[in-house]
Amino acid sequence: MTQLKQIRVQLEVLRYNPDTDTEAHFQHYDLTCPEEWVVLDALNKVKADIDPTLNFRWSCHMAVCGSCGMMINGEPKLSCHSFVRDYEGTVIRVEPLAHFPIERDLVTAPDDFMEKLKRVKPYIIRKDKKPISEGEYKQTPAQLMKFRQYSMCINCMLCYAACPEYGLTPDFIGPAALTMAHRYNQDSRDCGRAERQEVVATHEGVWECTFVGACSEVCPAHVDPASALQQMKITSSIDWIVEHLIPGGKSAGDTVSREKAGDIK
């Protein structure tokens, strides 16, 4: 049986305990582990064997639950998907996700994101509901592909930690939540775009985005929120023109959704 190469890992972890601290400070941990480990494994080893008071969230260890987002050397990352071999020979600096309040150590408060997610109405809105007994709404593979990428968001909030506009203007609805609005807008089963525009087309909505693109660069699920936001800027602009410049013009939201409401047969 071949043995795995062991490497030395030096972690510098931001610590903060609201019960005792007024400021955060870095703590150093030194350990040896197999080179195939991820940063999360190293943190777990610290917690089990060195310092049980270190706190962080995790669950799936397969980059799908979105719990374990952290700043690793200044980059928003899933710690279960950051390999220690990529940092060999350097100190790995681990901090809680930027732009969110630190509850304790690496644990942040995601309340703001959760509230914003809810505001964009991320669910199917229909004018007419057909009963289950009539079967599925038909949707072709092409129609599915139109939004599938945007449905892959694991709500890890790395994009919020990366987006400077969110950092500077915390009212910004932000990449993932807006992308979720887009995901439903693009779904052939949905008729709710006009409703979502009430949030999407506001100052705090897409218009706060200056297309930095950092969101898409850090997204571990390849959702590409930047693209969703740009597309929504275009549709929102067209809406505006129709509403304001075309006499008797209805917002595009209405027209589009009415078209979409027709089930393809």
Closest contact distance (angstroms) between CB of 230 and another protein is 4
**252 sits near ligand SF4 (criterion: CB under 6 A):** no
Question: Distance (Å, rounded) from C-alpha 36 to C-alpha 170?
Answer: 37
Question: Distance (Å, rounded) from C-alpha 194 to C-alpha 191?
Answer: 8
**228 sits near ligand F3S (criterion: CB under 6 A):** no
**213 sits near ligand SF4 (criterion: CB under 6 A):** no
50 binds, among ligand FES, another protein, ligand F3S, none (CB under 5 to 8 A by kind): none
**158 sits near ligand SF4 (criterion: CB under 6 A):** yes
54 binds, among ligand F3S, ligand SF4, ligand FES, none (CB under 5 to 8 A by kind): none
The SS3 assignment for 144 reads helix
Question: Distance (Å, rounded) from C-alpha 250 to C-alpha 246?
Answer: 9
Give yes or no for a contact between 79 and 94, defined as CB atoms under 8 angstroms apart: yes
Among 16, 58, 100, 160, binds ligand FES (CB under 6 A): 58
| Residue 8 structure tokens | 């030395």
| Residue 182 structure tokens | 């887009």
Closest contact distance (angstroms) between CB of 39 and ligand FES is 10
| R_g over Cα of the chain | 22
Closest contact distance (angstroms) between CB of 227 and ligand F3S is 9
**107 sits near ligand FES (criterion: CB under 6 A):** no
Run of H or E including 194: helix 193-200
Site for another protein in 183-222 (CB under 8 A): 184, 187, 189-190, 197-199, 201-205, 207, 210-214, 216-217
| Alpha helical stretches, state H, 16-149 | 39-45, 111-119, 141-148
| Residue 36 structure tokens | 């195939």
Residues lying near ligand SF4 in the complex (CB under 6 A): 153-159, 175-176, 179, 218-219, 221, 223, 225
